[in-house]
Amino acid sequence: MSFFKTLRQYITQTFLSLPLLLIGWALFLGSLQGNIGLLVLFLGHFLAVPLATFLLNTVLEFVVTKLSSNVFYGLSFIQAPNADVCNLIPGKTNYGIPFLGVAPSIWVAQVLFFFSFLLSNAYGVYTMESPANADQEKVDRRKTQALISMILTAVFAVVFILGRKILVGCETWTGILVALSTIPFLGYGWYRLARECSARDSDIFGIVQKILPEEASQPPPMTCVYTGSK
């Protein structure tokens, strides 16, 4: 029994730290492989998402505060209690702040941004025009893999966000709806930025390689020059 309790604890801790794992994965693989798409994704997690989350919470809190006496009933539907399980980094909780803004929370924003970027990537690969000399079988395989990637990405995004809401209790439905109506556009725009940096390297799945003609994957020709014997 203690084994299963320990296993459950590790799974829960991993789930709570999911955004940090995704950010670390993007940075590690992007640096290791020189993948521009992953490096741009990491910058989005590090810079764009925190800024967007702060602005959304600030604006919504201001609007709700102004209208609360007539329309709303306090800030409970866009705030959650400040606790370790609700923070991105457990153990770094500032207990001087009683509530956290979750419209959206930084956890949901980071996870949704990640999956929005992946979904945009898979859709871009699916709709990409193939070269005239591309093998039709490889093109069909590329589209099939891109379609499967889109479906799995959407399913995992729903599972993770619902799991966060139901199991942890640090989210509100209002915050999730705000995130769904804003963060995916940020993820798509960030993917477009990655494509502007490098069209091929923006494909973080590596599926686009399936449409390259064979000669594009062959090593460059080498020339042997006789220099004479010493």
Alpha carbons 150 and 119: distance in angstroms, whole number = 5
Alpha carbons 29 and 38: distance in angstroms, whole number = 7
Alpha carbons 21 and 5: distance in angstroms, whole number = 22
Predicted confidence at residue 60, as pLDDT, reads 83
| Tokens encoding 10 | 């590790």
Predicted confidence at residue 227, as pLDDT, reads 56
Of 183, 186, 15, residue with least CA distance to 86: 15
Alpha carbons 92 and 94: distance in angstroms, whole number = 6
Give the mean model confidence (pLDDT) for residues 59-76.
66
Predicted confidence band at 211 (pLDDT cuts at 50, 70, 90)? Answer: low
Predicted confidence at residue 130, as pLDDT, reads 76
Among the residue ranges 70-74, 94-98, 165-169, the one predicted with the least confidence is 70-74
| Tokens encoding 207 | 């599926």
| Tokens encoding 92 | 């770094």
Return mean pLDDT, the chain: 78
Predicted confidence band at 72 (pLDDT cuts at 50, 70, 90)? Answer: very low
Among the residue ranges 22-26, 50-54, 127-131, 156-160, the one predicted with the least confidence is 127-131
Predicted confidence band at 212 (pLDDT cuts at 50, 70, 90)? Answer: low
Alpha carbons 68 and 74: distance in angstroms, whole number = 6
Give the mean model confidence (pLDDT) for residues 105-125.
91
Lookup result for tokens 């001087």: 96
